[in-house]
């Protein structure tokens, strides 16, 4: 039981490159989330998925796309990376019940040069 | 925008109780109050949550005022490992889905 697993842990991109951040959970979570965290800031929600096959925008969705192809996996794609997307990205999952709690992955540190 | 207000930083002596306040004056009747913490650059960790009754678990106690407009997280015997950013969150409902919106939290420093 690995919980919420994010890959990669570190990534360096050049401006304009694309990449996909992977997130997988084995906790039977219905809802999954992608957050970003900039230095000295709290977490800001990028996208979330309340259930398999559905996705919704969060606070800062511009420049990102997501895919929830199955219950376990929720990926975040940067089509054309920009320096402003340098951040630490966290994936989280929860069962979706109002009284439930989020479990977070260990984060992906992304630098865009 | 986050629906909560927290002090940006607090200090506490090791072994003493740490009391972290949170204002959520616009909370609605079916919204829960959640507390998470983030140690250094790790992913946030769930601590406790409640609706209107006080709650206690192995990590902390949560005291919610009768009008539910504010709450206090209590770490009864703070240790150096409790140094972290603590987030108070009220659930936000949108389009039938639930999501958690984090603010900037309170940076708690436990001093020896």
Distance between CA atoms of B91 and B107, rounded to whole angstroms? 21
pLDDT of residue A77: 97
pLDDT digits (tens, 9 = 90+) for A2-52: 789 999 999 999 999 999 999 999 988 888 999 999 987 788 999 999 888
Q: Does B53 touch chain A (CB under 8 A)?
A: no
Question: pLDDT band at B95, cuts 50/70/90?
Answer: very low
Backbone angles phi, psi at B25, to 5 degrees: -70, -20
pLDDT digits (tens, 9 = 90+) for A47-106: 999 888 899 998 899 999 999 989 999 999 999 999 999 999 999 998 766 556 889 999
Distance between CA atoms of B41 and B5, rounded to whole angstroms? 22
Contact B97/A107, CB-based, under 8 Å?
no
Residues 25-44 of A with CB under 8 A from B: 31, 33, 35, 41-44
DSSP H helix total and E strand total for chain B: 0, 10
How close, in Å, is residue A33 to chain B by CA atoms?
8
pLDDT of residue B96: 44
């Amino acid at each position: 039981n690995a919980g919420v697993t994010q890959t990669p842990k570190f990534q360096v991109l050049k401006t304009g490159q694309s990449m996909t951040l992977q997130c997988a959970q084995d906790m039977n979570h219905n809802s999954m989330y992608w957050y970003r965290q900039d230095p000295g800031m709290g977490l800001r929600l990028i996208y979330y998925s309340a259930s398999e096959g559905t996705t919704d925008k969060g606070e800062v969705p511009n420049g990102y796309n997501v895919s929830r192809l199955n219950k376990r996996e929720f990926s975040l794609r940067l089509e054309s990376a920009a320096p402003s997307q340098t951040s630490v990205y966290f994936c989280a999952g929860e069962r979706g019940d109002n009284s439930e709690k989020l479990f977070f992955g260990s984060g992906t540190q992304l630098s865009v040069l | 925008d986050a629906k909560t207000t927290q002090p940006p930083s607090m200090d506490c002596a090791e072994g003493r109780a740490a009391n972290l306040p949170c204002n959520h004056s616009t909370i609605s009747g079916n919204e829960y109050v959640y507390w998470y913490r983030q140690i250094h650059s790790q992913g946030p960790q769930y601590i406790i949550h409640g609706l209107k009754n006080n709650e206690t678990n192995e990590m902390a106690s949560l005291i919610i005022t009768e009008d539910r407009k504010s709450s206090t997280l209590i770490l009864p015997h703070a240790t150096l490992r409790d140094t972290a950013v603590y987030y108070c969150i009220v659930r936000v409902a949108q389009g039938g889905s639930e999501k958690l919106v984090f603010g900037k939290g309170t940076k708690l420093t436990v001093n020896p």
